[in-house]
Amino acid sequence: MGSFIMKRAGHGIVVLFGISVFSFLLIHLIPGDPARMMLGDSASAEQIAQLREQLGLNQPLVVQYMNYLSDVIRGDFGTSFRTGRPVLEEILIRFPETAKLALAGMTIAILVGVTLGILAAHFKDSYIDQAITGFASLGLAIPSFWLGLMLIMIFSVTLGWLPVAGGTGFADLILPSVTLGVLASTVIVRLTRSGMIDVLSLDFIRTAKAKGLGESAVLFGHAFRNAMIPVVTVVGLQIASLLGGTVIIEQLFNWPGLGTLSIGAITTRDFPLLQGTILFIGIVFVTVNIMVDLLYGFIDPRIKMGNAQEGN
């Protein structure tokens, strides 16, 4: 198990290295002088030269990256040009709101996706199955901003049940989390359905039924546990992607998370803040995926044993 953890951590470090390179090169890949873009066209040559010196843009690219990487390892993501505060401090202020939105959306996605997936598998080829798979296919085709707008029009503008946007309370959380959760659930529905159908056709399920176990005990106690691995995988990926991919939803509902922080950094040309946000989201993504890999051993002990044997 220890070798398995080290292997996954090694993969994560390689991924983070690639993300750090991308975030560093971000300001260099954009056409034009980064210093002039940050200060604007009205800046004097002296101001531009001073900023280039402050950012170390006069140094060779390799030296700049090594300095950047050294600062990041020490937890220094730079300083925001817009607020003058450390970038990591700005990120940590907004991150709890993004995490709250992503986890609420993922909770809805799991409840809806797993429940509908099990129902579709249990009633395979019936009208219930066709309706559920139709919902899943439709959900994959609907843009998140369109669904969000429709929910606002119905529940905020027409019915007046929920606030439109701008707050961070429970009522303000409902529409954006439902928007995220419904769309994320479509993938979980399809994976749960296919996994359950495969498991329900195996011999040990027929044996469990022959022993007189109830339908719910067979479905949840035996079949679902063995079909969970692909579901857990996609849930882990969905959580990580929701943490970094809520930009559109946060903008639509004016939710004060990392998405709106990134958009603000782009519009104000706050490149250190944008770089730090990208790298931070990458760290979260890698961490969540490593945790999902470790969770496999608790779901199916055979995976843990297999990895332990590989380590020997």
- Please report the pLDDT score of residue 301 as a whole number: 56
Radius of gyration of the chain (CA): 24
Residue 92: which pLDDT band, with cuts at 50, 70 and 90?
very high
User: Whole-angstrom distance between the N-terminal and C-terminal Cα of the chain?
Assistant: 10
Highest-confidence segment of 199-213, 261-275, 284-298: 261-275
pLDDT value at 25 more than 50: yes
Residues 6+ away with beta carbon under 8 Å from 304: 1, 296, 297
**Does 61 lie in the same domain as 205?**
no
Q: What is the CATH number for 303?
A: 1.10.3720.10
Distance between CA atoms of residues 289 and 293, nearest Å: 6
Asked whether the beta carbons of 273 and 80 are under 8 A apart, the reply is yes
Share of the chain above pLDDT 70, in %: 79
pLDDT value at 303 more than 60: no
Domain boundary (13, 40, 73) is at: 73
**Does 231 lie in the same domain as 154?**
yes
**Does 180 lie in the same domain as 59?**
no
pLDDT value at 300 more than 70: no
Structural domain includes residue 290 = yes
**Does 116 lie in the same domain as 68?**
no
**Does 282 lie in the same domain as 141?**
yes
Distance between CA atoms of residues 113 and 166, nearest Å: 28
Structural domain includes residue 130 = yes
Residue 154: which pLDDT band, with cuts at 50, 70 and 90?
very high
The DSSP symbol for 109 reads H
What domain range is 173 assigned to? Answer: 93-311
Name the nearest CA neighbour of 68 among 12, 17, 24: 24
Structural domain includes residue 80 = no
Q: What is the DSSP string of 10-39?
A: HHHHHHHHHHHHHHHHHHHHSSS-HHHHHH
**Does 126 lie in the same domain as 26?**
no
pTM of the shown model: 0.76
**Does 162 lie in the same domain as 14?**
no
Residue 299: which pLDDT band, with cuts at 50, 70 and 90?
low
- Please report the pLDDT score of residue 310 as a whole number: 45
Average pLDDT, the chain: 79
Looking at per-residue confidence, does 215 or 196 come out higher? 196
Distance between CA atoms of residues 91 and 84, nearest Å: 13
Name the nearest CA neighbour of 238 among 108, 121, 91: 108
Distance between CA atoms of residues 88 and 201, nearest Å: 51
Structural domain includes residue 207 = yes
Structural domain includes residue 154 = yes
**Does 128 lie in the same domain as 173?**
yes
Structural domain includes residue 78 = no
Asked whether the beta carbons of 255 and 246 are under 8 A apart, the reply is yes
Residues 6+ away with beta carbon under 8 Å from 311: 1, 2, 3, 4
**Does 107 lie in the same domain as 50?**
no
Distance between CA atoms of residues 152 and 19, nearest Å: 35
What is the tally of structural domains in the chain?
Answer: 2
**Does 173 lie in the same domain as 203?**
yes
Asked whether the beta carbons of 211 and 238 are under 8 A apart, the reply is no
**Does 186 lie in the same domain as 120?**
yes
Structural domain includes residue 127 = yes
**Does 252 lie in the same domain as 178?**
yes
